[in-house]
Chains A and B, each alone.
Chain A
């Protein structure tokens, strides 16, 4: 898994120098990523480091999204693994996670000392409501991508509504929903793609 043939990734003008470079780069990247990690990833890896061209980035990001797990973690594994195999993947991964974990725990411990005061409780309530909105907004923004979905916008909205009702309203376990709706939707999507191909 350590090497992808160079023809697939020949366009980018730079590559990570070594595993330390990977670790440091992903640490810096993670520490800049307040919520909007995608924007930071694109700026750092494509514009500054030039490890990927924009096209390569879009392709890699799509794969990172398809696979389970945090998108940016998947991307780190892909880029690290491509250059230095499993050691590179681990270097990028630990760069991405180590410093933020320490920071967020210190942050939590600091807040916990005053967590019982009404002001701190209020701040957390307010931040909680905002972060709920942040997450919902990302979902709404991504809905634009459904216009190009081979299943058509209407079917997508139907599947989305079903998912929302099952999880948000009926509170069914995620596994049931993903393992039932996921394959059904994928098979239908395959059917639609084939139809479009032959039409």
Chain B
């Protein structure tokens, strides 16, 4: 996949991640549906496959799952540079993409956290703090479920994709009901995929 990004495009990419940062209540992953809307549906800077595999790779690698943002920045930059086959200039653009998206998603929320922490800690019995916490809880939880739904729902051909849906549903059940290690499940998914069963 190859795209062209102007300086203004890079600017709006940065601004989009800046604006998402403060909305990432409950973890960066809750912004995934909106990143999908922006990067895949609206601008077409990222393919659906790249979007889904960025999240899958970030889940399969160590570290906080916000790493999926770095991977999306990497892929957008790589697309802008003409793909990995284009060599070092593409890698440089990909690293630039990582910087733009990660700094964008981090700066606002980190600043707010640093400033607000002491205040929130001292005022944890205050009505406003409790009300925000209680009010946001169902929204944050629903966002997680919606993210799972959107990730697997991007495969929308029932005749071909039902094994994928079944795998997602089975994973949900297993993680919910057992303590199976996530790496085991990811490895199992990779194996099923490699064998062509899903």
Are A and B genuine complex partners? yes
A35 pairs with B183, CB closer than 8 A? yes
Residue of B64, B135, B169, B172 near A70 (CB, 8 A) is B64
Centre residue among A63, A68, A103, A104 by max chain B CB count within 10 A: A68
A193 pairs with B127, CB closer than 8 A? yes
Interchain Cβ contacts within 8 Å, total number: 395
B135 pairs with A187, CB closer than 8 A? yes
A129 pairs with B171, CB closer than 8 A? yes
**Using Cβ atoms and an 8 Å threshold, which residues of chain A touch B147?**
132, 135-136, 139
Residue of B56, B62, B122, B176 near A127 (CB, 8 A) is B56
B63 pairs with A70, CB closer than 8 A? no
Residue of B71, B170, B193 near A133 (CB, 8 A) is B170
B167 pairs with A133, CB closer than 8 A? yes
Asked if B33 CB lies within 8 Å of chain A CBs, one says: yes
Q: Using an 8 Å CB-CB cutoff, how does the interface string of B162-180 with A read, 1 for contact, 0 for none? A: 0011011111111110000
**Using Cβ atoms and an 8 Å threshold, which residues of chain B touch A126?**
167, 188-194, 198
B138 pairs with A139, CB closer than 8 A? no
A146 pairs with B61, CB closer than 8 A? no
Instruction: Give A37's nearest chain B residue, CB to CB.
Output: B64
B190 pairs with A36, CB closer than 8 A? no
Instruction: Give A141's nearest chain B residue, CB to CB.
Output: B176
**Using Cβ atoms and an 8 Å threshold, which residues of chain B touch A131?**
55-56, 59-60, 151, 186, 189
Given contacts A103-B62, A185-B138, A186-B132, contact A69 B110 (CB under 8 A): yes
Asked if B92 CB lies within 8 Å of chain A CBs, one says: no
Asked if A108 CB lies within 8 Å of chain B CBs, one says: yes
CA of A125 to CA of B78, assembled, Å: 21
A1 pairs with B117, CB closer than 8 A? yes
Cross-chain pairs A/B with CB under 8 angstroms, 11 sampled: A82-B117, A109-B91, A129-B167, A131-B189, A137-B176, A139-B143, A164-B145, A164-B149, A168-B33, A171-B41, A187-B135
Query: Which residues from chain A sit less than 8 Å from chain B, CB to CB?
Result: 1, 4, 8, 30-37, 59-60, 62-74, 77-78, 81-82, 86, 89, 93, 96-97, 99-101, 103-105, 107-109, 111-113, 118-119, 121-143, 145-146, 149-151, 155-157, 159-164, 167-168, 171, 173-175, 177-178, 181-190, 192-194
Q: Which 10 A-B pairs have the closest CB atoms?
A: A100-B63, A126-B193, A133-B171, A136-B148, A69-B109, A139-B144, A186-B135, A130-B189, A137-B175, A190-B131
Query: Which residues from chain B sit less than 8 Å from chain A, CB to CB?
Result: 19-31, 33-34, 37, 41, 49, 52-67, 70-71, 74-75, 78, 84, 91, 95, 98, 102, 106, 108-110, 112-118, 120-122, 124, 127-153, 155, 164-165, 167-176, 181-183, 185-186, 188-196, 198
